[in-house]
Each structure stands twice: as structure tokens, then as C-alpha cells.
Amino acid sequence: MAETPAAPQGERKKIIFSGIQPTGVFTLGNYIGAIRHWGPLQEEYRCIYCVVDLHAITVRQDPAALRRRTLEAYALLMACGLDPEKSILFIQSHNPHHNQCAWALSCSTQFGELSRMTQFKDKAARYADNINAGLFTYPVLMAADILLYQTDLVPVGEDQRQHVELTRDIAGRFNGAFGTTFTMPEALISRSEEGARIMSLQDPTRKMSKSDPNPKGFVSILDEPSVIMKKFRGAVTDSEAQVAYAPGKDGINNLMRIYSVFTGRDLPAIQEEFAGKGYGDFKSAVGEAVVQGLAPIQNRYKELMEDKAYLERCYQEGAQKAMSVSGRTLEKVYKRLGFLHK
Ligand code: TRP
């Protein structure tokens, strides 16, 4: 992660907001690069995390699958250490302020700005038969997500930097036109340091992605131990048979980074540990370390999914807490815009 400035004592805790889409599985790459950092942030910051189902429908979703995945995503965030007592954890569609604020902000957003968003251009090319208005205005809803909570920091991947920049432009424009209403947020981008960038197990020159058509390329946080072992044993490497971190050895470098994250050992120590041993031993060791590291998360996830009543209580309370924060901002927005009070 980019260095997280310490929250100065005596001042209000800084606010962190992030959203995660309930589409597809969470991969080992998502876990290592992002989600595993979120738990520890709860100690120092006021954290607000949201499963963004409204964003998900910009691409056609099967309704039953969306409903299931939304709950799974919520449970998985909790299993990864997000605590609904310490943070606000909620589901986007449960808080109508997001839609309401997005409309107000859309009138402070230019057509030209939205046309320049690379994610829009990519998705419009990928889903050419469904270039809907929601896909186009997606970044305005994301700006509403962020700005409603007076967010200071937004932990996201590099691909979302442009959306956070746009959020800042919108906030600045609104503040300038109507008086200071929103805190100016900043992106907190994962650095491509050790562990931050996890590559496909089948093509280690490409980022590990849940949309990889070859499921052997990615590990899901919820994969069974036997599946994880199989994927690591089948990981593509070079033919040198030397466990050493070196340019061009993308497959081995990737496995060494993963092993390092799960064992806490640094690269020289790993090289020493496997000196004189073959890739087969190393791949099995990486698989075992990952299986062991994910076991507590998988166990907690299973427990949570067996207690739907508890999950329901958590997300309902989460929505109430979210609304009490976002409601204050929305009220200000409406007042500033000149809407007659009810
Ligand atoms: N657009 C983000 C993504 O695809 C998800 C998202 C929606 C988000 N709203 C957000 C991320 C607010 C951070 C803050 O990953």
C-alpha cells in the first residue's frame, strides 16, 4: 500500500471508504494486493466498506446470482477481518442516499469528462451490445459513494485512480459553486512492492485476474485445499530449476512473492531454504503455505454463511450507520442546491 499517513492524535480520525463489486470470486491477487490490508486499517481510521451492487448492474447480471454473490462478498469481507463493530460494512443498494447524491453530482459532471474515462471505453468495447447510460455515469455514482462520507482516503487499485481524480474534480467544482460541502478525497493506491502485484499462474507476465478464461491461472480465496495445491503444482515456470529471484523468471518471482507474503520470509531467506531443491518441492511448499494461510478465512467464511440471521443483522445495522453519516451530507447538498425543505 502507499504509505498511510498516521492519524494525528486529538484530531478526528481520518475516514477511509472503499467499495468492492459483488461479481465473481475474490482472487489471491485481490487478497494480497488489497483486502488483507483493510483489517489493520480499522485500528487507526474510521473505515467504511461497501459491497457495490448498484455498480454491478452496469453489466447485465443474473438476479439470483447477484443476490447470492452480494451476500458472499459481504461475508468474505468479514471473514478477511473487517469487523462490523469497528467499521461500517454495508450494501450499497440499502442506502438510497447514494442514488440521490449521484443525481445531484451528475449535474456538476461534464459529458466530456465521462467520455474520457478509460474504464468506460474498455467496458463499452467489451460489452458492445449493452453500452447503457449507467455504464457511462458509473463514475458519478462512485463519486457519490466517496463524497457522502466526507472520505479522506480511498484504497483502490491503480485502475481506479482516474475515477478518484474525477471525484476530486467534481467535489472541487461543487464546493466552488455552492460553498464547501465535501472533503477532498485522496486515492490510496497499492504499491507494486513485494506481494502487491500477483501474476497469473499460467501466464506470469499477466496480472492474476478472476476474469481469466483459464481458471488454473487464478486462485480464489475460497478454493478447496486440493484445488489450490493442484493450481500451484501446475504453475508455469522457467526451465532453470533454481529458486532465485531474477529478471525474466516471472513465474518463480511470482511464486516467491506469494510465499513471502504467507510465511513472512524475505526473498534471500526463501532462496536459501530451497537451495539445491527442485521446482516441484517449491511449488508444493507455496501451495501448502497458501492453504494454511487461507484456512482461517475459509473457516470463518463457512461459519458466517451458516448464520444468515447474523449476517442479516450486520448488514442491516451497517446500512443504518451508513445512512446516519450520509444523511447529514445529503441534507447539506440539498440545502446548498436550493431545494425547498420538506
Ligand atoms: N469502481 C470500483 C471498482 O470497480 C468499485 C467502487 C465503487 C469503489 N464505488 C467505490 C471503490 C468507491 C472505491 C470507492 O473496483
- 156 Cα to the center of ligand 1, angstroms: 7
Distance of CA 11 to the CA centre of its chain: 27
Residue 1, pLDDT > 50, answer no
For residue 69, CA distances in Å to 24, 47, 76, 219, 306 come to 7, 22, 10, 17, 15
Judge if the beta carbon of residue 21 lies within 6 A of ligand 1: yes
Please tell me the distance from the alpha carbon of residue 171 to that of residue 40, in angstroms, as a whole number: 28
Contacts of 54 (CB under 8 A, 6+ apart): 92, 93, 98, 99, 141
Residue 194, pLDDT > 60, answer no
Judge if the beta carbon of residue 242 lies within 6 A of ligand 1: no
Helix (H, G, I), strand (E, B) or coil at 227: helix
Judge if the beta carbon of residue 18 lies within 6 A of ligand 1: yes
pLDDT of residue 2: 46
Helix (H, G, I), strand (E, B) or coil at 84: coil
Place of cell 447514494: 98
> pLDDT tens, 222-260?
999 999 999 999 999 998 889 999 998 999 999 999 999
Q: How large is the average pLDDT for residues 291-299? A: 98
Please tell me the distance from the alpha carbon of residue 168 to that of residue 147, in angstroms, as a whole number: 9
Place of cell 488454473: 216
Q: Chain-wide mean pLDDT for the chain?
A: 93
pLDDT of residue 304: 98
- The reported pTM is 0.91
Going by CA atoms, what residue is nearest to atom 13 of ligand 1?
A: 18
List of domains in the chain:
15-194+308-337 (3.40.50.620), 215-302 (1.10.240.10)
pLDDT of residue 241: 86
pLDDT of residue 9: 57
Contact by Cβ (8 Å): 35, 1: no
| Among 81, 35, 77, 55, residue whose Cα is nearest residue 198 | 35
> pLDDT tens, 45-56?
999 999 999 999
For residue 285, CA distances in Å to 188, 225, 280, 292 come to 32, 13, 9, 11
Residue 164, pLDDT > 70, answer yes
Return the number of other C-beta atoms located less than 10 Å from residue 94's C-beta: 17
DSSP state of 285: H
Return the number of other C-beta atoms located less than 10 Å from residue 68's C-beta: 12
5 — pLDDT class (breaks 50, 70, 90): low
- 157 Cα to the center of ligand 1, angstroms: 9
189 — pLDDT class (breaks 50, 70, 90): confident
Catalytic residue list: 123, 207, 210
